[in-house]
Amino acid sequence: MPVDPRERHTLACLADASGLLIAEGAARARAVRLRLTSELPAGADDSALLRARTPLALAYRDGEVDLPQAWLRAAADVLTMRDDGAGAPRDKHGRPLSTSNRLVSAGAERWPVVSLLGRALREATIAAAGPRPSYTLDPWPEGKRWAAALSHDLDVASLWPVFTGLRLAELVRKADLGRTLDVLGSAAASVFADPVRAGVDAVLDAEAAVLARSTWFIICGTPSVGTFRRGDVTYRPESTRVRDIVARLLREGHEVGLHGSFETVEDGAHFPRQRSRLEAITGTPVRGVRQHFLRRVVGETERHMGDAGFSYDSTGGFADRNGFRAGLADVAPVWDEASGRALSLEEAPFCWMDRALSKYQGIEAPDRWIDDALELAARCEAVQGLWCGIWHPNLTPALGFPDAPAEYARLVRELSSRGAWLAPLDAVVRWRVARRALRATALDGNDTPVLAAASDAPPEALAKAGATLRVLDRTGAARATVRPA
């Protein structure tokens, strides 16, 4: 059946999400084949993907798996976020409205439906293999079955009493007298302290307790009265406080990325300038970016990110609710609708953010935020996927969130105890890009796969994994490995 470029891109992402070892060359003779079909499984319809809560059942026979093209098209629409493109209705910040997203419209945004289809592909392929050799790839390093990336947007670094005042106004509007009094007391006690640094230190201490490393996005524009009033740039990245924060981050093995200011959306030429400015502070390459307020022009902004040399973006989520905007609990290349191809830029989407609940949903209880995060984490674990969350380090008592730090520490402990691979986003992206490039080119006399980089991948792709890649047989035993150089 004819397959358009978007569908071909989606097939590649589904294969990656499935964790199956893909065959090339001589190995294809004994591989299970995927067949696109116009037929649907009995009792299913075209919209089944949007109602998926467990893996969809794919039909299979000896050596062959059927994938309905209607489901592939639906997955392509979700994965490439067609609803967010040119002409999509936008909110006051210029962001595509979440209510126009087809997953939200179907009440399905809290399930990683594309990842569920990838899991269905893996299960059907293993069943269809029969007596043939059947191999999967380690989902994540160190034998971990799923991954969690903790990330933080440093939105506040100076003039903290102003932000406390804004938060107090928010609580007054909500008639939350108890929290208002708590915040006033904490702010008064912090007059001669540094609540910004205290918030950062509390986050880092919670992560250090479980040996977790996270990603921090730093704003690198130039503050002015105008940027402050817009809620955009409110501090200088070269300030002593920010330099001290960055120094601790790097010393303890955390990653620093760029939090793109509003001007990067208005003019993409600011991306390389802000990236260079941040690299002058860190002394290390900056590979990741996330947009402040999640502002972007879908497609155009990502092209500018790639042109500026970024490896990945992590803007692809909802501002006003938590869930999987592209239906994916994983890393995937960014699709560019204008050129009809995937960019070299990867998307590491987040599915959970603290302020989506407190600011937009009106939920002020931090324990409920964390319960929500863990519910989504369980759905990522079920598909051997990636949970990525945003926690703002300014959620401290003096800045208006009296119960928040202790609950963040609970989140970190829970993610660790549930066996997630906790790593910065750059490490997550490098691992998945390398794993995606692995191919079986032949089988030796013991049916052990001979491994190489995919024919369309650069030869050095596997060396960038940062950890050993393992190929597993159907019993879960490692049959072949590739170690990074």
Structural domains in the chain, sorted by start? 5-137 (no CATH), 143-427 (3.20.20.370)
Which amino acid, one-letter code, is at 72?
Answer: L
Q: Which residues of 25-57 are buried (b: 16+ CB within 10 A; e: fewer)?
A: eebeeebbebebbeebeeebeeebbbebeebbe
Q: Specify the pLDDT at position 420.
A: 98
Looking at residues 15-39, what average pLDDT do you find?
A: 94
> Which tokens is 267 given?
């003019």
Looking at residues 253-271, what average pLDDT do you find?
A: 97
- The pTM of this model reads 0.94
Percent helix, strand and coil across the chain, each rounded to 5?
Answer: 45, 20, 40
Does pLDDT of 185 surpass 70? no
Q: Specify the pLDDT at position 156.
A: 87
Which of 325, 357, 356, 331 minimizes the C-alpha distance to 345?
Answer: 331
Which of 229, 286, 285, 293 minimizes the C-alpha distance to 265?
Answer: 293
Helix (H) or strand (E) holding 103, with range, is: helix 102-105
Q: Are 427 and 331 in contact (CB under 8 A)?
A: no
169-183, 225-239, 337-351: the lowest-pLDDT one? 169-183
> Which residues share a beta bridge with 261?
none
Pairing assessment for the beta strands 469-472 and 288-291 based on DSSP bridges: unpaired
Looking at residues 3-19, what average pLDDT do you find?
A: 96
Query: 87: pLDDT confidence band, cut at 50, 70 and 90?
Result: confident
Does pLDDT of 182 surpass 80? no
Give tens-digit pLDDT for 31-43.
Answer: 999 999 998 887 7
69-78, 184-193, 455-464: the lowest-pLDDT one? 184-193
Looking at residues 281-297, what average pLDDT do you find?
A: 96
Q: How many Cβ atoms from other residues are within 10 Å of residue 396's Cβ?
A: 26
Does pLDDT of 63 surpass 90? yes
Q: Specify the pLDDT at position 464.
A: 82
Q: Specify the pLDDT at position 262.
A: 96
Q: Are 257 and 215 in contact (CB under 8 A)?
A: yes
Q: Which residues contact 242 (CB under 8 A, 6 or more apart)?
A: 154, 157, 218, 235, 236, 281
Quick one: 145 exposed, middle or buried, by C-beta within 10 A (0-12, 13-18, 19+)?
middle
Q: Specify the pLDDT at position 344.
A: 93
The CB-based long-range contact list for 354-360 (8 Å cut-off, 24+ gap) reads 354/390, 354/391, 354/392, 354/395, 354/404, 355/390, 355/392, 356/318, 356/319, 356/320, 356/321, 356/322, 357/322, 358/401, 359/170, 360/319, 360/320, 360/321
Q: Which residues contact 317 (CB under 8 A, 6 or more apart)?
A: 294, 323, 325, 349, 350, 351, 352, 353, 388, 390
127-141, 155-169, 312-326: the lowest-pLDDT one? 155-169
Q: Specify the pLDDT at position 183.
A: 60
Percent of the chain at pLDDT > 70 equals: 95
Q: Specify the pLDDT at position 190.
A: 62
Which residue has better confidence, 450 or 87? Answer: 450
> Which residues share a beta bridge with 148?
387, 422
Give tens-digit pLDDT for 389-424.
Answer: 999 998 887 777 888 999 999 999 999 999 999 999
Looking at residues 137-165, what average pLDDT do you find?
A: 87
Does pLDDT of 162 surpass 70? no
Q: Are 100 and 367 in contact (CB under 8 A)?
A: no
Q: Determine the Cα–Cα distance for residues 191 and 183; give it in Å rounded to an integer.
A: 12
Q: Specify the pLDDT at position 126.
A: 96
Which of 34, 46, 32, 40 minimizes the C-alpha distance to 8?
Answer: 34
Which of 432, 461, 404, 402 minimizes the C-alpha distance to 187?
Answer: 402
Q: Are 399 and 158 in contact (CB under 8 A)?
A: no
Q: Specify the pLDDT at position 192.
A: 59
Does pLDDT of 323 surpass 80? yes
Looking at residues 239-255, what average pLDDT do you find?
A: 97
Does pLDDT of 251 surpass 90? yes
Q: Specify the pLDDT at position 196.
A: 85
Q: Specify the pLDDT at position 188.
A: 64
> Which tokens is 35 given?
């067949």
Main-chain dihedrals φ then ψ at residue 345, nearest 5 degrees = -75, 135
66 in helix, strand or coil? strand
Q: Determine the Cα–Cα distance for residues 135 and 477; give it in Å rounded to an integer.
A: 10
Looking at residues 287-307, what average pLDDT do you find?
A: 95
Average pLDDT, the chain: 92
